[in-house]
Chain A
Amino acid sequence: MAKYLLLKHYRGAPSAVNDVPMDQWTQEEITAHIAYMNDFAGRLEKTGEYVDGQALSPEGTFVRYDGEGRPPVTDGPFAESKDLIAGWMVIDVDTYERAVELAGELSAAPGAGGKPIHEWLELRPFLTASHNVTECHHP
Chain B
Amino acid sequence: MNEVLLRSLTPSVLGILVRRGADFAAAEDAVQDALVEAIRVWPAEPPRDPKGWLVTVAWRRFLDAARADTARRRREDRVEEEPPPGPAPSVDDTLQLYFLCAHPSLTPSSAVALTLRAVGGLTTRQIAQAYLVPEATMAQRISRAKRTVSGVRFDQPGDVATVLRVLYLVFNEGYSGDVDLAAEAIRLTRRLFAAIDHPEVAGLLALMLLHHARHATRTAPDGSLVPLAEQDRGRWDTGMITEGVSVLQTALARDRLGEYQAQAAIAALHADALTAAETDWVQIVEWYDELVRLTDSPVVRLNRAVAVGEADGPRAGLAALAAVPESVPRRTAAAAYLHERAGDLSTAAGLYVEAAHKAPSLAERTHLTRQAVRLNTRDRA
- Stretch of B13-21, B58-66, B169-177, B237-245 lying at the A interface: B169-177
CB of B371 closer than 8 Å to a CB of A: yes
State the CA gap A136–B131 with chains docked (Å).
23
Partner of B361, one of A1, A49, A94, A130: A130
Partner of B131, one of A1, A46, A137: A1
Identify the closest chain B residue to A52 (Cβ). B134
State the CA gap A130–B226 with chains docked (Å).
12
Determine if A138 and B330 form an interchain contact, defined as CB atoms under 8 angstroms apart.
yes
**A48 and B173 in contact, given A130-B364, A134-B211, A136-B303 (Cβ under 8 angstroms):** no
CB of A128 closer than 8 Å to a CB of B: yes
Determine if B140 and A127 form an interchain contact, defined as CB atoms under 8 angstroms apart.
no
Determine if A51 and B225 form an interchain contact, defined as CB atoms under 8 angstroms apart.
no
Identify the closest chain A residue to B136 (Cβ). A45
**A139 and B134 in contact, given A46-B144, A47-B144 (Cβ under 8 angstroms):** no
Determine if B362 and A47 form an interchain contact, defined as CB atoms under 8 angstroms apart.
no
State the CA gap A50–B340 with chains docked (Å).
43
Determine if A94 and B227 form an interchain contact, defined as CB atoms under 8 angstroms apart.
no
CB of B322 closer than 8 Å to a CB of A: no
Determine if A127 and B109 form an interchain contact, defined as CB atoms under 8 angstroms apart.
no
> Interface residues of A toward B: which range?
20 to 34
**Chain B count of residues within 8 A CB distance of the other chain:** 56
Determine if B133 and A51 form an interchain contact, defined as CB atoms under 8 angstroms apart.
yes
**A45 and B108 in contact, given A127-B361, A134-B172 (Cβ under 8 angstroms):** no
Determine if A94 and B109 form an interchain contact, defined as CB atoms under 8 angstroms apart.
yes
A89-139 contacts to B (CB < 8 Å): 92-94, 125, 127-139
Contacts of A136 in B (CB 8 A): 303, 330
User: A60 to nearest B CB, angstroms?
Assistant: 25
State the CA gap A137–B231 with chains docked (Å).
13
Determine if A132 and B109 form an interchain contact, defined as CB atoms under 8 angstroms apart.
no
CB of A3 closer than 8 Å to a CB of B: yes
B218-238 contacts to A (CB < 8 Å): 219, 223, 225, 227-229
Determine if B137 and A132 form an interchain contact, defined as CB atoms under 8 angstroms apart.
no
User: A130 to nearest B CB, angstroms?
Assistant: 4
Residue of B270, B330, B337, B364 most packed against chain A (CB within 10 A): B364
Residues 334-377 of chain B, each 1 if its beta carbon lies under 8 Å from chain A, else 0: 10110010000000000000000001111111000001000000
State the CA gap A50–B131 with chains docked (Å).
12
State the CA gap A45–B135 with chains docked (Å).
10
Residues 41-80 of chain A, each 1 if its beta carbon lies under 8 Å from chain B, else 0: 0000111111110000000000000000000000000000
Partner of A127, one of B141, B229, B362: B362
State the CA gap A48–B306 with chains docked (Å).
38
Determine if B137 and A48 form an interchain contact, defined as CB atoms under 8 angstroms apart.
yes
Contacts of B109 in A (CB 8 A): 1, 48, 92-94
Contacts of A94 in B (CB 8 A): 107-109
User: A88 to nearest B CB, angstroms?
Assistant: 15
User: A36 to nearest B CB, angstroms?
Assistant: 20
CB of B94 closer than 8 Å to a CB of A: no
Contacts of A49 in B (CB 8 A): 137, 141
Partner of A128, one of B144, B229, B330, B361: B361
Determine if B171 and A132 form an interchain contact, defined as CB atoms under 8 angstroms apart.
yes
Identify the closest chain A residue to B266 (Cβ). A135
User: B275 to nearest A CB, angstroms?
Assistant: 16
Determine if B211 and A132 form an interchain contact, defined as CB atoms under 8 angstroms apart.
yes
Determine if A134 and B207 form an interchain contact, defined as CB atoms under 8 angstroms apart.
yes
Determine if A137 and B307 form an interchain contact, defined as CB atoms under 8 angstroms apart.
yes
State the CA gap A117–B354 with chains docked (Å).
36
CB of B122 closer than 8 Å to a CB of A: no
User: A59 to nearest B CB, angstroms?
Assistant: 28
Determine if B144 and A48 form an interchain contact, defined as CB atoms under 8 angstroms apart.
yes
Contacts of A52 in B (CB 8 A): 134
State the CA gap A134–B145 with chains docked (Å).
28
User: B191 to nearest A CB, angstroms?
Assistant: 20
State the CA gap A128–B360 with chains docked (Å).
6
Q: A92-B131, A139-B340 are in contact. List 19 more A-B contacts (CB 8 A).
A: A1-B109, A1-B112, A47-B144, A48-B137, A48-B140, A50-B133, A51-B133, A92-B132, A128-B361, A129-B362, A129-B363, A130-B361, A131-B172, A134-B207, A135-B211, A135-B270, A137-B228, A138-B337, A139-B227
A and B contact pairs by CB, cutoff 8 A, 22 listed: A1-B112, A3-B132, A47-B140, A47-B144, A48-B110, A48-B113, A48-B137, A50-B133, A92-B109, A127-B362, A128-B360, A130-B219, A130-B362, A131-B172, A134-B172, A134-B211, A135-B267, A135-B303, A137-B303, A137-B307, A138-B337, A139-B229
Q: Which 10 A-B pairs have the closest CB atoms?
A: A48-B141, A130-B363, A139-B337, A137-B306, A138-B333, A48-B140, A1-B109, A128-B361, A130-B361, A94-B107
